[in-house]
């Protein structure tokens, strides 16, 4: 990474969509840029390349460009340290790709200059500040780059450092040796851009590669280097917390809630989308105010026997949706509830609908009105169940929440639902 054009580093994030382990992408390092006299043999150095998992690497060097008058080729191009004779004046650009046997790295390039000039421009060297973690940061988060290893071939003092962002369409002119230069257009915000250490905030609305340029001056000449820095997104978690009750009576309201830290990217928090679903099919669940709310109040209806209902939460940010990966606590940062949770719905009356005159005549449930003029009473499984709507018509789907009175009840002349019991 110690050269003019660029360094491209990638962080591969393995999701939970399959059980197979995905090998990490190795990182190629083509070494320092060099300035030598014509007819000098330069030795390249790829020993800074590494594999995050410690796997052995193979090397593939390619001479990308050279002066038109040059007739030289690389020697030992599949070794860690190939050689190249710089036979004529001009720039020679060489790329390196390394492989761990499963995945190849992105290419890294090194520039070699053969020149008889006595005063050379500085050698700018742009690097990420945390190379072991890769050149990456979450979108909307801070990123750091540095030029500490920049130097001047003549030993002149370096008088200025300037960091800037390379936008789409500027790669050919600002980073001519950068293979595959395709930056995103969203802008970074610089906190510090005129020092050896560059500090910036990645765009909150941009995912992909940022290209940054370092310009270093010795007061007379300027050298530049480009580096790719990835703005990443972290897949959100679907964490249900606090845990809902293990069981509830049919029609009894309880709350479901996803935690506010379901996404580690703080920039996504205002834009998270929640969706609640349930199994088995055919069970009617009332989501109040809607299945897209968080938190949400729910009650289950229409059962003929005690049933375990599983509720699943999916959390989506603008880039991707959560993958609960079962209930693996490690995936959820140690949380017990991850993605889905089951609740046993009980209290279903076997004799629901039986004619009655008083509650004591019902083996389960309450004796309630079945029509607007109160000419019939039936046993009802849920004690807080109203059989007719505000207009006086029969409505078998109107459940009452805690604290709501059923003024049409003919048994007691009025009941209030408290914790699932009409009182």
Structure tokens given for 412: 């007691």
Residue showing tokens 């003024």:
407
Nearest Cα residue to 98 out of 149, 153, 52, 59: 59
Torsion angle in degrees (nearest 10) through CA of 252, 253, 254, 255:
170
Block residue for tokens 């995912």: 207
Pairing of strands 340-346, 247-249: parallel
Quote the tokens at residue 312: 């699943």
CATH number of 247-346: 2.60.40
CA distance 396 to 386: 7
**Exposed, middle or buried, 282 (CB in 10 Å: 0-12/13-18/19+)?**
exposed
Choose the CATH number for 34-232 among 2.60.40.10, 2.160.20.10, 2.60.200.30, 1.10.3720.10: 2.60.40.10
Strands 222-232 and 136-138: parallel
Angle, CA 216 vertex, CA 212 and CA 220 arms, to 5°: 145
pLDDT 10s per residue in the chain (423 long)? Answer: 443 332 222 222 223 333 344 577 888 889 888 888 899 999 999 999 999 889 999 999 999 999 999 999 999 999 999 999 999 999 899 999 999 999 888 888 888 989 887 788 899 999 888 765 568 888 999 999 999 999 998 889 999 999 999 999 998 889 887 767 889 999 999 999 999 999 999 999 888 989 999 999 999 999 999 988 989 887 777 888 888 888 888 778 999 998 766 666 777 777 888 899 999 988 889 999 999 999 999 988 777 678 899 998 888 888 777 755 444 444 444 443 457 888 888 754 333 456 666 656 665 556 665 444 444 566 655 544 444 334 433 333 344 444 444 444 433 434 444 443 444
- Per-domain boundaries in the chain: 34-232, 247-346, 359-422
Six token digits for residue 69: 């008058």
Bond prior to 380 in cis (omega within 30° of 0): no
Asked if residue 171 lies in contact with residue 109, where contact means CB atoms within 8 angstroms, the answer is no
Q: Which residues contact 152 (CB under 8 A, 6 or more apart)?
A: 120, 122, 123, 158, 218
Phi, psi of 187 (to 5 degrees): -90, 140
């Amino acid at each position: 990474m110690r050269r003019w054009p660029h360094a491209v580093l990638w962080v591969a994030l393995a999701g939970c969509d399959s059980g197979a382990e995905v090998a990490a992408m190795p990182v190629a390092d083509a070494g320092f840029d060099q300035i030598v006299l014509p007819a000098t043999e330069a030795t390249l150095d790829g020993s800074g390349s590494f594999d995050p998992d410690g796997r052995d690497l193979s090397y593939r060097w390619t001479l990308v460009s050279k002066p038109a008058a040059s007739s030289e080729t690389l020697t030992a191009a599949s070794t860690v340290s190939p050689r190249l004779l710089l036979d004529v004046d001009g720039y020679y650009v060489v790329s390196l790709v390394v492989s761990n046997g499963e995945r190849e790295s992105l290419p890294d390039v090194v520039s070699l200059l053969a020149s008889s000039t006595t005063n050379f421009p500085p050698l700018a060297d742009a690097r990420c500040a945390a190379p072991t973690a890769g050149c990456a940061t979450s979108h909307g988060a801070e990123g750091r780059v540095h030029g500490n290893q920049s130097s001047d071939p003549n030993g002149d003092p370096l008088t200025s450092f300037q960091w800037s962002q390379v936008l789409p369409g500027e790669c050919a002119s600002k980073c001519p040796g950068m293979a595959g230069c395709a930056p995103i257009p969203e802008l970074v915000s610089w906190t510090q851009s005129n020092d050896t250490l560059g500090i910036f905030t990645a765009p909150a609305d941009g995912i992909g590669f940022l290209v940054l340029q370092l310009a270093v001056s010795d007061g007379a000449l300027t050298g530049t280097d480009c580096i790719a820095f990835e703005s990443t997104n972290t897949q959100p978690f679907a964490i249900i917390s606090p845990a809902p009750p293990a069981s509830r009576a049919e029609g009894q309201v309880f709350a479901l809630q996803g935690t506010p830290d379901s996404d580690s990217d703080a920039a996504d928090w205002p834009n998270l989308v929640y969706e609640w679903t349930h199994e088995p099919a055919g069970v009617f669940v009332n989501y109040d105010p809607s299945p897209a709310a968080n938190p949400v109040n729910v009650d289950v209806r229409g059962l003929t026997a005690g049933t375990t209902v599983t509720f699943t939460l999916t959390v989506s940010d603008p880039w991707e949706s959560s993958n609960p990966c079962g209930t693996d606590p490690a995936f959820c940062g140690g949380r017990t509830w991850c993605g889905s949770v089951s609740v046993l719905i009980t209290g279903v009356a076997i004799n629901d609908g039986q004619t009655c005159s008083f509650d004591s005549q019902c083996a389960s449930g309450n004796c309630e009105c079945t029509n607007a003029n109160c000419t019939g009473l039936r046993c009802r499984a849920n004690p807080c169940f109203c059989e007719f709507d505000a207009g006086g018509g029969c409505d078998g789907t109107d459940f009452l929440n805690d604290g709501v009175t059923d003024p049409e009840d003919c048994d007691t002349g009025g009941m209030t639902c408290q914790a699932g019991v009409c009182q």
